[in-house]
Structure 1
Amino acid sequence: MTTDALPATSEHSRRSVLRAGIAASAVLAVPGTIVGLAGSASAAPAALQSNPFTLGVASGEPAPDGMVLWTRLATDPVAEDGLGGLGQRTTDVDWELATDEQFRDVVRRGTERTGPELGHSVHVELAGLKPGREYFYRFRTGGELSPTGRTRTAPAGSAMAPLSMCFVSCAQYEHGYFTAYARLAEDEPDLVLHLGDYFYEYKARDYVAPGGNVRDHVGPETETLANYRQRHAQYKTDADLQAAHAVAPWLVVFDDHEVDNNWADEVYEHPEIPQPNFRARREAALRAYWENMPLRAAQRPKGIDMQLYRRVGWGGMANFHMLDTRQYRSDQPCGDRFNSDCSERTDPAASLPGSAQEQWIADGFRRSRARWDVLGQQVFFSQVDFTPGPGRGFNPDAWDGTPGSRDRVVDSWVAAKGRNLVVLTGDVHAAWAADIKTRFDDPAAPVIGTELVSTSITSGGDGSETRPETAGILADNPHVRFYNNRRGYVRTRFSPTELTAEFRAVPYVKQPGAPVETKATFVVEDRKAGLNPG
């Protein structure tokens, strides 16, 4: 929703190595040969004219025995055809995985072929690795070496290893510098969740932040496969975003702007204006999303459909139920007018995730044995009345647009007798924290979970500590415990006894290099639903 590397040496720290890897890639070649990643020579493919690793590296989908390694080749990242300057070329890309930053202990290596049908992306799915381990990876082609990335496998079985996880959303390239990504990378988390609006679809200066934009989108509003590939590439040239990708494995879900603002299944933003190409647009957007994210083959789209909702376990500590709140949802009620209310909103048949995904959520709750069950999803889950004083007004693009659907998810949690429910949310360009109640209009209803909402990386510009209407909104929503309107992310730490959440913010994004500070800290105790000041 739119609202207001060089190989390491023993003297290098991990952080300096990752920064160096993003800043430049090493060339270790002599004419006519490639020095293999492990030091052996092999026949050289046709030489590239310039560095193809301009979009960095990433990993994702950690499992106890493996993960996905990703890169995408581009010598001209913002080429209009979306093919990054490589056109119809087919390229063999070597990769390797090691237990150390110096790549002295290489445990896996191989070669993947890519070309225009993949947008020149590489997805390496690894299995058979040891659980709960840190690894380092890199790619090589045409005499060029990629930056080094750090990744890890998840713990196995019921292991209760502590987990450091950061989550983010809403990065509008034009609205500011991606400094919050850089500060997140400096935290060196074990895992990163991106909850949507990884990029924005608008042409330059269509969506202007308060005080103006600091840089421009390249290309028109994204509608074709070439447009979406180009826009992904422009964002990925940002060094701060590359640093965040390289520091830890990611779990990703899209929201609306990866396709079209406020889209709902096959309904586009302005249904009153015919958009006969919307199915083709959605197909192109999802294809480009898969190409540009560290996702498995199981998530590769088929036509307009993409199997994005999925479960990822982290030993016995956490189950991450990653939701899709766009592909299957009912159209927004009340004409999709923010701060509105209407009888259509309470239609019991309406659903945000769709009936099949609702059942999948219920099944996951029932089967889970994890200490913490975490919903990684896109839009505000808790009820929020945005009309201070008499009257009520809601965001129809959030779960408030389908409260019956939310009630079914809450009831399935209660029926499963789950241990600890945590909902992680993006979308709204401000940081919030709320207690989740079984029914929000009932003052006596019990608290059964916690919602943590990340602010944006840049969307909305510098922001502010608060807004004039906030006091009235908080007074009308006593289950909402925190609000802040700066840019940043949320840093969490999961342990067997508690979850700690720190709301991290930068004071500005209109200039690069901002420091970061913690605006608030909350603790959720095991088996004691509800937020406590940290």
Structure 2
Amino acid sequence: MNLPDSVSRRGLMFALGAGGVVLGSSRQALADPVFAEYPFQLGIAAGDPAPDGFVIWTRLAPRPLEIGHGMPSQPVPVKWEVASDRGFATVVQKGEAVARPELAHAVHVEITGLEPGRDYFYRFIAGTERTPSGRAKTAPAAGSAVAQARFGVLGCQAYEQGLYTGHRKIAGEDLDFVYCYGDYIYEGRGNRTYTGSGGTIENPRQHIGGECYSLDDYRRRYAQYKLDTDLQASHLAAAWYVTWDDHEIQNNWVSDQDPDEVPPEIFNLRRQAAAQAFYEHMPLRRSSFPRGAEMQLYRQASWGDLLDLNFLDTRQFRTNQPCNDGWATTCAGVSDPASQVLGEAQEQWLYRNLDRSRAHWKVLAQQIMVMDLDRKEGPETGYNLDTWAGYSIPRQRLLDRLRERRIGNTIVLTGDEHQNYAGELFRDSRNPDGAPIATEFVTTSMSSSGDGQDQRADGRRYLADNPFLKFNNAQRGYVVCDVTPERWQTEFKVLDKVSERGGTLTTRAKLAVASGDARIVAA
């Protein structure tokens, strides 16, 4: 049969494979499809583990980078299975979901009724096509005694600026879960080179298309990232807790404020497109479903009696950066009493969680540095205004709450900086008063900023000028946290290169915090 170019051969095969049935909106009309190309090219993922289950995700996209992603504008049935063994000899749950065109044929299934604290395996089936199996571990039972947890922290994975060797490495770590602090994608247009602190470098690969504004733009960008098999391996190995930072929408955005001063009502259209695409590609629960430009991303999870994990959103409710979002500077706006980082509702939610927590360790898993790091060379003080240091009143309010309520064993996990840092938190680090209140570990980027180096000149200066800062490194990689009731250990794992394949992974530092003492020591 000869077909005109305007007729999609792929779409015709889909219809013929469905027995000539046109897939409609009613469940009875859905029929198993036949795909001309493999539909699970974007992989699978699990997320938000709880004691009784987790979310499993996939998206049907036989032609991920094309408009329409190689799918008809119709709902499609997708079967799923969860087993207690990797070979699926014992399937403990199975069912069928609907991949809807309104959500780019993404599927989110919230699995419940599983046993706590054990490994499960999951997969999807559409027509005669099947995914590989992914692994996800349920959280321990609420309040149960947990002797140890081991989990990873990662983020900032600019596709253009480096390969995902770190994802392939972390897939072999045998982790309980992964926390992704954000910058899963970068929104900028394709560039042949990248110019940063180390000069101009040739990007090892390049974004497709221009800067992301529309829903189709963001969908195509996620598809390009998720086609990477190293990233897919990382998702297959463990369930992730995901949040966002700025590049999922626009560099340094907060609230309805675009750094390029686009009117808020226009910028919110971009936010809405970005929020939908983020949900479509992340293993998130229904509670995070976008409502216009907004998403409910701050949430809490527990790992038995060992960890209370508070996942924060430091973008959506923040007031605009002071001092015109300058670098290594300060101004009166830094001390504005009306400024917010979390927003009033999220801040009170966090305080309630901290007050009632009985876990050994209280975790603030978030995006921007809490340390008030002096970044200005010379005797004057200057901050990165896109960190908590640019918002001194909310920052002091948080640390005062921890100190006054005697909320010990608080660990802050941060990203965004494209460098590794470890430091001790004081209300005012220029005038430290007594013992540190909490501890912060900042995880470097997976690929953003290219290969990097062991330590930049500014990093050496930061260590000299900020006594509370105990470690700095400027290579790419990720962090592994080994936690027991007695000790928190953070292992900084770095790659010698991400500009080409074959990067070597090493442990750059192991740092520890003892229960009851926020000081950082060598492990």
Normalized against structure 2, the TM-score is what?
0.92
Query: Does 2:225 correspond to 1:239?
Result: no
The secondary structure found in structure 2 opposite 1:187 is: coil
Q: Deviations over 1:460-499 (max 9, x none)?
A: 0000011123222211111000000000001111111111
Residue pair 1:436, 1:448 contacting (<8 A) in 2 also: yes
The AA in structure 2 aligned to 1:47 is V
Residue pair 2:426, 2:433 contacting (<8 A) in 1 also: no
Query: Does 2:487 correspond to 1:498?
Result: yes
Q: 5+ residue gaps in structure 1?
A: 1-30, 34-42
Corresponding position of 1:511: 500
Q: 5+ residue gaps in structure 2?
A: 1-16, 20-29
Corresponding position of 1:67: 54
Corresponding position of 1:97: 82
Question: How many angstroms apart in 2 are the aligned matches of 1:32 and 1:115?
Answer: 16
Map 1:475-490; keep pairs closer than 5 Å: 475-490=464-479
Residue pair 1:507, 1:516 contacting (<8 A) in 2 also: yes
Displacement of 1:176 in angstroms is 1.0
Question: How many angstroms apart in 1 are the aligned matches of 2:265 and 2:427?
Answer: 41
Corresponding position of 1:303: 292
Displacement of 1:305 in angstroms is 1.1
Q: Deviations over 1:384-423 (max 9, x none)?
A: 0001331111111110110111111112222332231000
Query: Does 2:173 correspond to 1:183?
Result: no
The secondary structure found in structure 1 opposite 2:71 is: coil
Residue pair 2:418, 2:444 contacting (<8 A) in 1 also: yes
Corresponding position of 1:435: 424
Question: How many angstroms apart in 2 are the aligned matches of 1:66 and 1:246?
Answer: 16
Displacement of 1:166 in angstroms is 0.4
Corresponding position of 1:227: 217
Query: Does 2:68 correspond to 1:78?
Result: no
Corresponding position of 2:32: 45
Corresponding position of 2:405: 416
The secondary structure found in structure 2 opposite 1:530 is: coil
The AA in structure 1 aligned to 2:32 is P
Map 1:255-404; keep pairs closer than 5 Å: 255-271=245-261, 277-404=266-393
RMSD: 1.6
Displacement of 1:515 in angstroms is 1.8
Query: Does 2:100 correspond to 1:115?
Result: yes
Displacement of 1:246 in angstroms is 0.8
Query: Is the deviation greater in 466-475 or in 453-462?
Result: 466-475
Return the match for 2:135 from 131, 145, 150. 150
The AA in structure 2 aligned to 1:46 is P
The secondary structure found in structure 1 opposite 2:327 is: coil
Residue pair 2:38, 2:129 contacting (<8 A) in 1 also: yes
Question: How many angstroms apart in 2 are the aligned matches of 1:106 and 1:416?
Answer: 47
Question: How many angstroms apart in 1 are the aligned matches of 2:259 and 2:70?
Answer: 32
Residue pair 1:439, 1:445 contacting (<8 A) in 2 also: no
Displacement of 1:275 in angstroms is 7.3
The AA in structure 2 aligned to 1:55 is L
Question: How many angstroms apart in 2 are the aligned matches of 1:493 and 1:308?
Answer: 25
Question: How many angstroms apart in 1 are the aligned matches of 2:313 and 2:192?
Answer: 27
The secondary structure found in structure 2 opposite 1:529 is: coil
Return the match for 2:443 from 450, 454, 466. 454
Q: Figure out how many residues of one structure are paired with residues of the other and give that number.
A: 492
Displacement of 1:134 in angstroms is 0.4
Query: Does 2:133 correspond to 1:133?
Result: no
The secondary structure found in structure 2 opposite 1:181 is: helix
Question: How many angstroms apart in 1 are the aligned matches of 2:295 and 2:458?
Answer: 39
Displacement of 1:44 in angstroms is 6.5
Displacement of 1:207 in angstroms is 7.0
Question: How many angstroms apart in 1 are the aligned matches of 2:300 and 2:346?
Answer: 12
Query: Is the deviation greater in 287-296 or in 206-215?
Result: 206-215
- Taking a change above 3 Å as real, the CA distance of residues 270 and 445 of structure 1, as seen in their structure-2 partners, is farther
Question: How many angstroms apart in 2 are the aligned matches of 1:44 and 1:259?
Answer: 36
Corresponding position of 2:11: none
Corresponding position of 2:155: 169
**Percentage identity across paired residues of the two chains:** 41
Return the match for 1:55 from 42, 45, 51. 42
Q: Deviations over 1:332-364 (max 9, x none)?
A: 000011111111111121011112111111111
The AA in structure 1 aligned to 2:179 is L
Q: Deviations over 1:48-79 (max 9, x none)?
A: 11111101110011111111011111111111
The AA in structure 1 aligned to 2:184 is Y
Normalized against structure 1, the TM-score is what?
0.90
Query: Does 2:188 correspond to 1:202?
Result: yes
Residue pair 2:408, 2:438 contacting (<8 A) in 1 also: no
Q: Deviations over 1:499-528 (max 9, x none)?
A: 111000000000012121000001111111
- Taking a change above 3 Å as real, the CA distance of residues 78 and 411 of structure 1, as seen in their structure-2 partners, is same
Displacement of 1:213 in angstroms is 0.7
